[in-house]
Amino acid sequence: MDGLILINKPQRLTSHDVVQNVRKLLGIQRVGHFGTLDPLATGLMIVALGKATRFFPFYSKLDKVYLGQIRLGFSTNTYDADGSPSSVEKTDYPSEQLLLKTMEKFVGEIEQIPPVFSAKKFKGKPLYIFARKNREVKPKSVRIHIHQFQLEAYDPPFIKFCAACSSGTYIRSLAHDLGQALQCGAHLSRLERIAIGNFAIQSSCPLDTLENLVRENKIEDVLIPLESVLPEIPKITLTDEGVALAENGNLILAEHICSAFPGERDCLNGGSDRADITRMFTQDGKLVALGRAQTDRVGIHPFLVIDSRESEM
């Protein structure tokens, strides 16, 4: 079984728990996800099955959209409600006008320091290993882009917000840094991921729904097959000779192409680094490989080859 499934992760499960659940439900081992959610968070996860796990580089860098709630008044050591208070509680909350002005300062390209309780690596090890041992570390800041940080409702001490951001953004850090800027402390109290690229939460299914679909042999209702992966990338149909060449990683020339079709516009963001990539198909519609146009010679070179004749069951 190969393809993608959009899962609506419940609270308190880790992303690894979700993968393990899918492995058990489908009876396959080759399962992975394309973006971690903290146990506190809920919402959209892209789960890959079989050969689709090889497409991680294309999906892991997509922009994300979140709905959440920030609690003003004190910060925590984990930057969210699961942590212990790390500051004295304050009840002198900012005005809505000041809050809006401060939130605006975080929009755009900014430097962000990851939470010490996170899987971000420091000297080859996850930061949380050092944090759990009370060892002080200074993580390097990461350049991220906040496309939108919008106030949805303000009922002190709670802020409801919507944030659209680049991959690699920690919303926990955003909440913590907002509290520092407002000088009253803050932490993330609730979070839901509602979009990854052009994938929306409305298209996802809870784990219990997936279980029912497996029981009823209707997994195809939610499975995005390999042939539908990366629809924004142009596709070509190969001759039989072209298929044989592609399966062995050999150069594809014009005479090996039966037809060509453009990709879907604006299907997924982050497409600038994909301008020279093509999806290669057999004449009966099976995905064979992804190829990259050669700059020094005419032709397309397969760089991610998929043997469509085999599938993990």
CATH code of 272's domain: 2.30.130.10
211 plus 247 within the same structural domain: no
Indicate the pairing of strand 277-281 with strand 235-238.
Answer: parallel
pLDDT digits (tens, 9 = 90+) for 158-201: 999 999 999 999 999 999 999 999 999 999 999 999 999 999 99
CA distances from 41 to 134, 135, 141, 153, 191 (A): 25, 26, 23, 19, 5
189 plus 211 within the same structural domain: no
3-class state of residue 55 by DSSP? helix
Q: How many angstroms separate the CA atoms of 196 and 189, rounded?
A: 21
Which segments of the chain does DSSP mark as H helices, in order? 15-26, 56-59, 96-104, 127-132, 171-182, 207-215, 240-247
For the cut 50, the answer to whether the pLDDT of residue 313 exceeds it is no
Residue 259 within a domain: yes
Q: Of 157, 188, 221, which one is at a domain's C-terminal end?
A: 221
Enter the tokens of residue 83. Answer: 């942590």
Residue 184 within a domain: yes
42 plus 112 within the same structural domain: no
Give Rg (Cα) of the chain: 22
Q: Which domain holds residue 205?
A: 3-61+199-221
Q: How many angstroms separate the CA atoms of 215 and 148, rounded?
A: 41
Res. 138 pLDDT band, cuts 50 70 90:
confident
74 plus 171 within the same structural domain: yes
Measure the N-to-C terminal CA separation of the chain; round to a whole number of Å: 5
186 plus 39 within the same structural domain: no
Residue 280 within a domain: yes
pLDDT digits (tens, 9 = 90+) for 298-307: 889 999 999 7
191 plus 238 within the same structural domain: no
pLDDT recorded at residue 199: 96
Instruction: Identify residue 159 by its one-letter amino acid code.
Output: I
19 plus 119 within the same structural domain: no
Task: Judge contact between 44 and 199, C-beta under 8 A.
Answer: yes
Residues 243-254 have a mean pLDDT of: 93
Residue 312 within a domain: no
29 plus 81 within the same structural domain: no
163 plus 73 within the same structural domain: yes
What is the overall mean pLDDT for the chain?
A: 90
Residue 313 within a domain: no
Residues 198-205 have a mean pLDDT of: 96
The beta-strand segments (E) located in the chain are 3-9, 31-33, 42-49, 64-72, 108-112, 121-122, 125-126, 142-155, 158-165, 186-196, 199-200, 235-238, 257-261, 277-281, 287-293, 300-305
Task: Judge contact between 9 and 37, C-beta under 8 A.
Answer: yes
Say what percent of the chain tops pLDDT 70.
89
Residue 311 within a domain: no
177 plus 206 within the same structural domain: no
76 plus 162 within the same structural domain: yes
Instruction: Identify residue 60 by its one-letter amino acid code.
Output: S
For the cut 70, the answer to whether the pLDDT of residue 203 exceeds it is yes
Q: Of 188, 221, 254, which one is at a domain's C-terminal end?
A: 221
Query: Which positions are annotated as active-site residues?
Result: 38
pLDDT digits (tens, 9 = 90+) for 92-109: 999 999 999 999 999 999
Instruction: Pick the more confident residue, 95 or 118.
Output: 95
Residue 265 within a domain: yes
Res. 311 pLDDT band, cuts 50 70 90:
very low
For the cut 60, the answer to whether the pLDDT of residue 267 exceeds it is no
91 plus 157 within the same structural domain: yes
For the cut 80, the answer to whether the pLDDT of residue 250 exceeds it is yes
Lowest-pLDDT range, 2-6, 30-34, 209-213, 260-264? 260-264
pLDDT recorded at residue 273: 57
3-class state of residue 224 by DSSP? strand
CATH number at residue 116: 3.30.2350.10
Residue 112 within a domain: yes
Number of domain units in the chain:
3
For the cut 50, the answer to whether the pLDDT of residue 272 exceeds it is no
